[in-house]
Amino acid sequence: MAKAKAGKEKDVVRLERESVIPIMKPKLIMKLAYLIEHQSDRDEFLKLCKRVEYTIRAWYHLQFDDMMELFALFDPVHGAKKLQQQNFSPEEIDMLEQNFLSYFFQVMEKSNFNIVNDDEVELAHSGQYLLNLPIKVDESKLDNKLLAKYFKEHHHENLPDFSDKYVIFRRGIGLDRTSNFFFMEKVDTIIARAWRRFLEKTRLQKLFSRKKNGKQKMDSKKNDDLASEVDEKDLYVERIRLETMDLSLRNLIGKVTIQEPTFEEVIVLYRRRSPKGQDDRAIHVKHFKNIPMADMELVLPEKKNPSLTPMDWVQFIVSVVIGLVTLISSLEMPKADFWVVIAILSALAGYCAKIYFSFQQNMATYQNLITQSMYDKQLDSGKGTLLHLCDDVIQQEVKEVIIAYYILMENGKATSDDLDLQCEELIQEEFGLQCNFEVMDAVQKLERLGIITRDSIGRICCVPLKRANEIIGATTEELVMKARQS
């Protein structure tokens, strides 16, 4: 978390703290059990944790089965054959794929994934990290009907412009650091700064400036703002980029470390446009990890091959024009200096070569990053991703119930607000982690399990451990395990 330091200006990104509980379930259960004083209570607590998990799994079993059966019809590998065997009409297929999307978005919400919105896309594009080429999606290769129909019937606020073609979900905030010499990137930065000064002096900056969105949910702020705006619910992460770095002689010739906040998990959903005469209904779901915000283009579907940026072409043409004007002016002088002409031509040729080789190096970096995103950063796709999400929902729900029940058991009656605060304090004190605990969701599940009550003024209290186990009762898994042992 970035903090303000006097005299130094830092590029800091402010992020909303997420609701996901970043603790492994076995670690959470063993730690809380260890904190219980009496062995008999500890045994009852461990039994309760197992029964809670088995029961929650049973709640979601049918829903997850329905979702997986629907996805089997739209699986990019075998879905087409299954659809053909079922002999559905186009209207029935439309209904089935919308049902799948409804299940999918519910699971994403329960897993605490958020849809990347326009403000977050703008913030990601406001800086560069390892990817220094403009990457665009070939929208002609993507379907724009599937998601457009879903969002027409299911309203979501602040959707990005591309939401009719593909959706990007993100969860978790991390940090990525890279140390290297970055020689070409430093040269690019120096030239870019000189170009900006040139535009400022000639008052041409308005011609090339971009309009930026006014309000951002994820803000990029300076330290002066942080001193006056500190919200414990927010997370502050510093960006360290070459564009804002002080390029002293030591930094120019030595290794430097750049830093960028990352999305720990990213899931992309899209459908390719069907070729003429075909009706491709495959739905693609891809799962990535540790994607730097500024390099979010790595996960985009159907990417175009990158080329020189418009700014590269402008700089190239302006440099050629200035060089030619200077060269002609020198030749028209009564006594043209041969070495001055050679120097101008050499500088012009060197700059053109620099643009070319810089682009080639960026292309090589791009290919390496794409390869890395495919082999190192892609966790799974299709059915594997859906199975991971289903298990993840159950793990999060179980952890919420266990933490809330433990707090009520140890601290006694509490209002919803007090319970929320005490759960977050427990996670902070015992595990050194912070999250925005979803107390209402936890309370609803505890009420459904029947192991909490409310007093006359609405405060929440839990039933004793032994009684809680009796209320839930022996689960199918326990009966199976007993049958095996007998």
Domain boundary among 354, 380, 406: 380
Model pLDDT, residue 229: 45
Query: Does 239 map to a domain?
Result: yes
14: pLDDT confidence band, cut at 50, 70 and 90?
A: confident
In a domain? residue 391? yes
Looking at the predicted structure, is the pLDDT value of residue 174 above 90?
no
Q: Smallest Cα–Cα separation from 137: which of 108, 153, 160?
A: 160
Name the amino acid, one letter, at 433. Answer: L
Q: Same domain for 346 and 466? A: no
Per the structure, the count of domains in the chain is 3
| 8 A C-beta contact, residue 283 and residue 305 | no
Q: String of b and e for 178-197 (b: at least 16 CB within 10 Å)?
A: eeeebebbbebbebeeebee
Q: Is the pLDDT of residue 154 over 60?
A: yes
- 275 torsion bin: left (phi>0), alpha (psi -120 to 50), beta (else): beta
First to last CA, the chain: 54
Among residues 385, 368, 159, 111, which one has the least CA distance to residue 268?
385
Q: Is residue 63 part of a domain?
A: no
State the Cα–Cα distance between residues 455 and 324, nearest whole angstrom. 86
Same domain flag for 371 and 396: no
**Paired residues of 310 in beta bridges:** none
What is the model's pLDDT at position 215?
42
- Helix runs in 77-127, H state only: 79-86, 90-110, 118-125
| Same domain membership, residue 247 and residue 144 | yes
pLDDT of residue 373: 58
- The answer to the question of residue 425 being in a domain is yes
In this predicted structure, what is the pLDDT of residue 124? 80
Please check whether residues 332 and 459 belong to one and the same domain. Answer: no
Are 465 and 478 found together in one domain?
A: yes
pLDDT for res 136: 83
Q: Kindly report the CATH number assigned to the domain that includes residue 477.
A: 1.10.10
| pLDDT of res. 369 | 64
pLDDT digits over 294-349, tens only? 888 888 898 887 665 565 666 667 666 766 676 666 666 655 566 666 766 676 67
- Residue 229 located in a structural domain: no
Same domain membership, residue 345 and residue 245: no
Residue 347 has which token pair? 């500088």
Host domain of residue 295: 76-206+235-304
Dmax (CA) of the chain: 110
Q: Which of 325, 349, 380 is the last residue of a domain?
A: 380
- Average pLDDT rounded to a whole number, residues 424-451: 94
Check residue 158 and give its pLDDT.
Answer: 86
Give me the pLDDT at residue 213, please.
45
Chain-centroid distance, C-alpha 73: 28
Q: Are 392 and 352 members of one domain?
A: no
What pLDDT sits at residue 320?
A: 67
Q: Which residues, 6+ apart, have CB-to-CB distance to 38 below 8 Å?
A: none
- Residue 88 pLDDT greater than 60, yes or no: yes
Residues 6+ apart with CB under 8 A from 204: 198
Number of C-alpha atoms within 13 angstroms, CB side, residue 162? 25
Co-location of 267 and 334 in the same domain: no
Pairwise CA distance, residues 232 & 429, whole Å: 15
pLDDT digits (tens, 9 = 90+) for 35-64: 999 999 999 999 999 999 999 999 999 899
Verify that 163 and 266 share a domain, yes or no.
Answer: yes
In this predicted model, what pLDDT tens digit does every residue of 365-410 receive, in sequence order? 666 766 665 678 888 999 999 999 999 999 999 999 999 999 999 9
**Does residue 296 share a domain with residue 191?**
yes
Answer with the one of 350, 380, 410 that is the final residue of a domain: 380
User: Do 362 and 415 fall into the same domain?
Assistant: no
- Averaged over 137-156, what is the pLDDT? 94
Residues 415, 314 share a domain: no
